[in-house]
Structures are given as C-alpha cells and as structure tokens.
Amino acid sequence: MVNADEEVFEMNNGRICCTVRGDLIRILRGLTTALLALMFCFAVGSSPARAHPHAWIDLRSTVVLDAAGRVTAIEQQWLFDQFYTVFATELPSGAAGTRAEALTALTRSNLENLRSYDYFTEVRAGGAKVALGTVSEFESELREGRLWMRFVVPLATPVDPTKRALSFAVFDPTYYIEVLHLQGDLVAFRGGRAEGCFGRIVPPNPTIEAVLLAQSVDLDVTPDATLGSVFAERVEVTCR
C-alpha cells in the first residue's frame, strides 16, 4: 500500500499534451474545463485537432480483499499529466478556502461525474460484468507539480477470486484520456489472504486498423465509445 506522502510517480516517456473538447464534457466536467483551456492556448500554430488520446493518467491499482479473501474493491491512484494539472489547479474554485480544500472539491466533482461511467472501471468475474458501488473514500494532493488522487471503487457484491476468474480494466471508453499503469509497476493487494494473490497486467494489443483510427479521429465527430477498450490494459487476478 502506498502512503499518500510518498513520491511514487514519474512522468511517462514521450507524453505530449494535445487539445480536447466535445463529448468528454459529459464525462468529466472538471477535467474538460481545464482541457478546453489548453485548446485555446495551443490552437495557434498547432497541428490539427486529431488523434487520440489528448490527456494522460498514470495509474496505480490495489485490489482490496475482505477477511474471507473476497475482492471487495479496486483502489486506484491517478496521477494526471502536467498540462492538465496546471489548468485544473489554476482555475477559480468558486469559493474561498485552502488549496487542499480546492483540490478536494475538484476531486469530488470529478468522481461525481465519473459515477455514471463506473469511474472508468470495468470489473469482470467469470466473464460477466460486475456491478460497482459509489465511491466514498478519496483524497487528492499535488505531487511534484502533478495532480494526484486516490479513490476506492467498491464492488456491489464481493467476489471470491478462487471460484470465479476475476479481471479489471481502467479506461476512458472514448479514448480521449489514456490510462496506463506505470511501466514495470505491479498490482498491489491488501486485506485478508493478500499474500496468495497476484495481478498480471496484460498490455493492449490493438490492430493496425485501430491505431490508424485513433490517429485520425476528428474531435468534431461523435466519439466511438468502443475505442477505449481496444487500448485498455487488463489486469487478471489470481488468488490461491
């Protein structure tokens, strides 16, 4: 388990911010407001507003187990790219308060809007999609100039991973935002019988056609809500 005061993230290689607008407004109002600001700042002299993704999140995940060894939640840490961070943290909060209070309000707003999209989280047990609950535990702060937030996505019903094959993925369905574990990172486990569990991160394997599609998508068109799953990592959970 990573403590909130530990510096555990670093910038992914080769990630460069682009502009974004459109349907993401419905998904993440807080995120989109900042990304729209980026669009106006970089529009002049930039390349055409095409190609996905347009924002990036470094992910760290922890599978939470109960005393019986059942999976009850997926804890996630998101570290946003520096470009989004600058605009998100400089926008007026709408109310007086400390920076910590402003970050908490921003995170709460983001999570409320993500609820309708299962927090970009898909959990499957025995091949069937698992219903998720509402996030109530979360925190956020700035880490080396990047916005970090931690939250826990509960499963509506605990799943015994020794009886049903369990997997999960974290992704934006439209692929406006790319969400990937840090290179070389391991999925963590905490709770009962955690020592007998392992999470294998399966990298995406998109076809050439899918890559070309992502590179050519115009932000003015209706987004393809299936594109994100093609570029998503999958975590396969094994417990003894």
d(CA 81, CA 65) in angstroms, rounded, equals: 30
Query: Tell me, what's the pLDDT at 190?
Result: 97
d(CA 77, CA 170) in angstroms, rounded, equals: 11
CA dihedral sign of residues 109, 114, 120, 123: positive
pTM of the model: 0.77
Give me the helix-helix angle, 99-114 and 29-42, nearest 10°: 110
Q: How far apart, in Å, are the Cα atoms of 237 and each of 24, 132, 135, 172, 176?
A: 30, 17, 22, 21, 27
Question: What residue segments make up the domains of the chain, in order of their start?
Answer: 24-239
With 50 as the cut, is the pLDDT of residue 23 above it?
no
Torsion of CA 111, 170, 228, 214, to 10 degrees: 100
| pLDDT tens by residue, 90-100 | 755 555 567 78
Query: Tell me, what's the pLDDT at 123?
Result: 98
**163, two tokens:** 């009886």
What is the chain's mean pLDDT, rounded?
Answer: 80
| pLDDT tens by residue, 39-75 | 333 333 334 445 678 889 999 999 999 999 999 999 9
| pLDDT tens by residue, 150-172 | 999 999 999 999 999 999 999 99
| Cα 112 → chain centroid | 14
With 50 as the cut, is the pLDDT of residue 16 above it?
no
